[in-house]
Structure 1
Amino acid sequence: MRQGHFSLAYLLALFVGPFAASQGLAATVPHVGLLTYWDCSPGTVQAEFGPFLKGLKELGYRMGESFVLECQAAGKSYDRLAEAARKLVQLPVDVIVTSSQPAGRAAHQVTDSVPIVSIVSGDPISAGLVASLARPGGNFTGVSYYATELTAKRLELLKEAIPGIVTIGVLANPDVSYLPFEADAMRAAEKLGIGVKLHHIRQPADLDVAIPEMKKESVQAIFVLPDVMLAGEAAHIADLALEQRLPTMAWAPWYPRNGCLLAYSADYAEMLHRLAFYVDRILKGTNPGDLPIEQPTTFELSINLKTANALGIDLPQTVLLMADEVIE
């Protein structure tokens, strides 16, 4: 993931939070709460929220001076996201910021009053998070990169990159089955005449069984569906896929950067950076329900040529010319 550079001093300042400000100041400046699936260590928060924090800084916010940062984490458990969100509400905070729909959903289930600013991977309307994109209503807003055709586009690109594919192995986390990606993948595969071998992955160790099993099932490629847990396993998936000599198409640019073959995605760093705009507006008095949900207008194809060479895949020139990022 593309991230801004933060000095050690800045990262240290980030995590002293309310301790960086006097008690009087901490009581008068707004408190921004980060809700994360991972943990609240400096390195993790930099990796997950770096562009957002950079955006706040560009808008004139100074840690410990004009706002206080709080963080609560689920410790890599979807089941603990609601508890972490509840802790932020109880502190209290003036706004909750998340980088994923599962975290945003958990916060939304906990509070209908504290503003929530989030990246949304699924359809925020059908998920019950907002009334509409133009006028969300309620306390939830942010950026959504969901489009029903996005999964189909990834599959089309995979088929164009590797002509002759007839069966794919799909990695999906059933803990986020409320998201639409499994159904989207099934419809897209059927339309393209591609068979699907679906493997549910609840924990990283499941990958060690699923990917070798895919090879036995004679799949020609692996198709990774959006999921926060799987996002952290990009290198693991890449290593296992290479061992089994299977190309992989995923949904975020850090997959090819970690050794997977292909990814087609929105610019995550830009979406995170944009969340700072929403927080700024909310802290200045705008109702989150009046801030339209934005959607990215461009998507990027990332290709790892080193992986293609290792797999003996000669990618068509048409695919290479479409690439926005080529890793050699």
Structure 2
Amino acid sequence: MRINRLALAAGVALALISTVAFAADKVTVAVTSIVEHPALNAARDGVKKALADAGYKEGDNLVFQFETAQGNPATAAQIAQKYVGENPNVIVPIATPSAQAVVAATQDIPVVFTAVTDPVSAQLVKDPAHPGGNVTGVSDMSPLADHLKLIKQIVPGVKNIGVPYNPGESNSAVLLAALKKMAPDYGVEIVEAPATKSSDVQAAAQSLIGKVDVIYVPTDNTIVSALEAVIGVGTDNKIPVFSGDTDSVNRGTIASVGFDYFDVGVLTGKTVVRILKGEKPGDIAVQNPTGTDLFVNTKAAAAMGVTIPQDLIAKAKKVIN
């Protein structure tokens, strides 16, 4: 009996050692986003694809965690604190509010942000070329000049552009300021329509009726999460709605020029892989995605009372009709 007990104890010890060894073989990548919408979800999926391509696969040698704050900055902070307590190998916050929450919560765990418009103004890094510390990532600054050119090509007589935005999102404040600065060069004026939460988006869009010729939805997570409300106002009142991201064209905006957020995620995931293999985040420059894909939605354009020129349709990477 004594021998059997010793054998049993040895077996349990061996099993525990094997379990610990197995856990040590796995890496944990913890991902969080401020809200779920197609562009941010595509970025998340791109991160997972890059990890898989590098040999990190869920259920094998990767633990891939994901939580969303559902648009609530306080929840974003709670998720950040939870992740820091769990001590993953890398944390990937998607969009500026989540990135700010995570960076405020840790100075030790590697952080690779993504879909952040201006990481300097968001106080995530001081120098994008040489981030230093535990933070790097991928910016998604919109090609605003291309967007204004596109709007003028489709609506040549445009004079006033309405911009619904959340003043609480620093990325939106950056985009709005840039639009206002550029507007005189394109002969247009920017009309603001603030909305601090998704339930305010429809009222913000309605406040633009009779004041603007076009509505432009920037890469503002609050507005994009309630995009259908803006599209409804545009359709009902024959106000063309354009967007800062191409994923929103699939949902009913007229057109956009930009990069694929899945590709943004892949680029982010490749940076995560570099860190998992031993590089320090502070030694990796903040990156910017490339690509100027044109998406157009002829059905939405017709519903909002405009016609997309044939030469633009011919150039488009994707036509929704």
Q: If the length of structure 2 is used for normalisation, what is the TM-score?
A: 0.86
Deviation sequence 1:106-153 (CA, Å, 0-9, x none): 211111111111214322234332243332211111222326xx2232
Alignment counterpart, residue 75 of structure 2, candidates 73, 80, 89:
80
| Partner residue, 1:61 | 56
Q: Which amino acid aligns with 1:30?
A: V
1:198 maps to 2:195: no
Displacement of 1:250: 0.8
Displacement of 1:67: 2.2
Inter-partner Cα distance in structure 2 for 1:45 and 1:261? 20
The question of whether the paired residues in 1 share the 8 Å contact of 2:164 and 2:195 is answered with: yes
The question of whether the paired residues in 2 share the 8 Å contact of 1:181 and 1:225 is answered with: yes
- What are the residue-to-residue correspondences of 1:146-225 with 2, within 5 Å? 146=141, 150-177=143-170, 179-217=173-211, 219-225=212-218
The question of whether the paired residues in 1 share the 8 Å contact of 2:25 and 2:61 is answered with: no
| Partner residue, 1:30 | 27
Inter-partner Cα distance in structure 2 for 1:29 and 1:200? 45
RMSD, aligned α-carbons: 2.4
Closer/same/farther in 2, CA of residues 95 and 261 from structure 1, 3 Å limit: same
| Partner residue, 1:252 | 245
Larger Rg: 2
Displacement of 1:44: 11
Q: Secondary structure of the residue that 2:168 maps to in structure 1?
A: helix
Closer/same/farther in 2, CA of residues 231 and 23 from structure 1, 3 Å limit: farther
Inter-partner Cα distance in structure 2 for 1:167 and 1:131? 35
1:261 maps to 2:230: no
Q: Which amino acid aligns with 1:82?
A: A
Moved over 6 A (4+): 43-46
Displacement of 1:286: 0.7
- What are the residue-to-residue correspondences of 1:85-164 with 2, within 5 Å? 85-146=80-141, 150-164=143-157
Alignment counterpart, residue 297 of structure 1, candidates 286, 290, 296:
290
Inter-partner Cα distance in structure 1 for 2:235 and 2:19? 53
Q: Provide structure 2 residue ranges, at least 5 long, that are not aligned to the other structure.
A: 1-17
Inter-partner Cα distance in structure 2 for 1:297 and 1:32? 25
Displacement of 1:181: 0.8
1:270 maps to 2:243: no
Displacement of 1:301: 1.9
Inter-partner Cα distance in structure 1 for 2:67 and 2:309? 46
The percentage of aligned residue pairs carrying the same residue is 28
The question of whether the paired residues in 1 share the 8 Å contact of 2:241 and 2:253 is answered with: yes
Inter-partner Cα distance in structure 1 for 2:21 and 2:174? 46
Displacement of 1:267: 1.5
Q: Provide structure 1 residue ranges, at least 5 long, that are not aligned to the other structure.
A: 1-20
Alignment counterpart, residue 287 of structure 1, candidates 276, 280, 289:
280
Inter-partner Cα distance in structure 2 for 1:294 and 1:116? 14
Q: Which has the higher contact order (CA 8 A, sep 6+)?
A: 2
Inter-partner Cα distance in structure 1 for 2:21 and 2:41? 28
